[in-house]
Structure 1
Amino acid sequence: MLDKQSAIPIYVQIEDYLKQQIAQDVYPVKSIIPSERELSELFGVSRMTVRQSLTNLVKEGLLYREKGRGTFVAEEKMEQPLNGLTSFTEDMKARGLSPGTKLIGFSQVRPDPQIRARLGLSSEALVHKVVRIRYADNTPMAIERSYLPVDLLPTLSEEALQGSLYAFIEQQEKLVIGQATQRMEAALAKKEDAEYLQIAIPAAVVQIERVSTLEDGRTFEVVRSTYRSDRYKFISEIGR
């Protein structure tokens, strides 16, 4: 099982063995893997060596730990391209997943100075503030807080927000979406967001702010999204 005479470190061999077992469905998604003690006895190595292997696999996203319960096989992360302007609903359908939305907040407010500046609004202008949990196959994936000018989208309603916002803008409002700028950073989940996303804290998340414009240059949206880092990885194609 292990070649202790090999130049390949023992902890790497253990990682490769566990990866193979996961790939062959010996340990299916969300199943618990043997404990550190059990694995150290199986391989005839110290628990410290096993712990190093498991920690590396957790960092890779193949495993996750639950305090007091053990170590489990993680679900495969979904790739989210950073190029291309699509809605969450469109992304999930393209992957063959069933998108879902839970609207937890819809109101008209005066935005804070930063949001107002992003949207190019006057101090008296109102925005629709939309807070939604986004699901894929009934699993919460992200929490979105969107800010949209009321003057630009006066007919936006709770009913419209049950589906794709971009489809509503293009098909109902007859506006043409142009481009967007995104800012992304890693963070720790806030308590409220962790509850929405059904993750334990402390937990790492990915926060993205997107500022989107119409084809005519008007800014129609600022959306601040918090994604589960255990379910997402972001990719970008870069040419020289």
Structure 2
Amino acid sequence: MREDAPKAVTAIGLALQEQIEHGLLPASSKLPAERKLSELFGTTRITVREALLQLEARGLVYREERRGWFISPPRLAYDLMRRSHFHAMVSAQGRVPSTEVISARLQPASAAVCAWLQLPALSSVIQICRARRIDQRLVLYVEHYLNPEYFPQILDVDLSQSLTELYPSRYGLRYGQVRFEMVPTALQVEAAAALKVSVGSPGLRIARVNYDQQGRLIDCDLEYWRHDAIHVSAVVPG
């Protein structure tokens, strides 16, 4: 990168940020191709890419493989203390949710899942993998692990619906206590492929270990969010 390239990166980033903040580049709109942007700013594609990567790190733009760069929409408010589920949470904020089932099967439980669900060695679990969108944008890849003892024939059901609503209607189970663990992460192969981003892209992993109304461990979820998709909050009652 040339000596003046850092200044060019900063200038391009500020120019695009100004356009975004004034609504000239609206949320979810697609940016011109990097080649077009390099012609517009009279610089190289490498310099344009660096400016876009810096804006992406700040959550102002995002990239999808083979589709290009887009203006980031507002983040979803994710309240840890509120009992809700993805479709209800998204809809309540005036957005449109959708869910795609990637796979669903009975399989041996990993050591981590055995620990979360307090299962003995060589136990089987039901794994359901889903990709979830807000306003057609892929934002979440989630792996659900269910104790088969509590969910007979669940693999025969439409699993694109809310499991939170399915559990009481079909099995008489409701969530009780929930334990959360959150950690920034680099998206691994499965999550990156589902979200159509590069392996190693920044993300937020939220692990949820769920008990039912009787205090039994019934399932756990591993949520992999795009880093710019949500704003997590919690208000603890005094």
Deviations 1:46-101 (A, max 9, x none): xxxx999866544321134789x997533333232232232222222222333222
Deviation track 1:144-199 (CA, whole Å, cap 9, x = no partner) reads 11111111111313424121111111122112211211111112222332221112
The alignment yields a C-alpha RMSD, in angstroms, of 3.6
User: Which residue of structure 1 lines up, in the alignment, with residue 31 of structure 2?
Assistant: 31
Match of 1:89 in 2: 87
Q: Secondary structure at the match of 1:172?
A: helix
What is the CA–CA distance in structure 1 between the aligned matches of 2:143 and 2:198, rounded to whole Å?
A: 21
Shift of 1:214: 1.0
| Structure 2 segments unaligned to the other structure (5+ residues) | 1-8
Q: 1:25 to 1:158 in 2, by over 3 A?
A: farther
Considering only CA atoms, is the larger Rg found in Structure 1 or Structure 2?
Answer: 1
Q: What is the match of residue 104 of structure 1?
A: 102
Aligned to 1:137: 135
Give the corresponding residue for 1:8.
none
Deviates more, 1:75-84 or 1:128-137: 75-84
Q: Does 1:118 align with 2:116?
A: yes
Partner-residue secondary structure (3-state), 1:26: coil
The alpha-carbon distance between structure 1 residues 72 and 167, as it changes in their structure 2 partners (threshold 3 A), is closer
State the identity %: 24
1:151 match: 149
* Deviation, structure 1 residue 30: 2.3
Q: TM-score, normalised by structure 2?
A: 0.75
CA distance in structure 2 between the aligned counterparts of 1:39 and 1:70, rounded to whole angstroms: 18
Matches within 5 A, 1:1-240: 18-28=16-26, 29-32=29-32, 35=37, 38=40, 57-64=55-62, 73-123=71-121, 125-230=123-228, 232-238=229-235
Q: SS in structure 2 opposite 1:79?
A: strand
- Change in 2 beyond 3 A, CA 1:196/1:64: closer
Q: More displaced, 100-109 or 116-125?
A: 116-125
Q: Residue 114 of structure 2 aligns to a residue in which SS?
A: helix
Alignment check: 8 A CA contact 1:101 1:162 kept: yes
Q: Within 2, Cα distance between the matches of 1:142 and 1:58?
A: 17
Q: Secondary structure at the match of 2:120?
A: coil
8 Å CA contact retained: 2:77, 2:233: no
Q: Distance in 1 between matches of 2:132 and 2:51?
A: 33
Counterpart code for 1:92: V
Query: Could you state the TM-score of these two structures normalised by the residue count of structure 1?
Result: 0.75
Q: Distance in 1 between matches of 2:180 and 2:232?
A: 13
CA distance in structure 2 between the aligned counterparts of 1:71 and 1:169, rounded to whole angstroms: 39
Give, in whole Å, the separation in 2 of the partners of 1:159 and 1:73. 36
Kindly indicate whether the alpha-carbon contact (under 8 Å) linking 2:164 and 2:174 is maintained by their aligned counterparts in 1: no
Q: Is the 8 A contact 1:82 1:234 kept in 2?
A: no
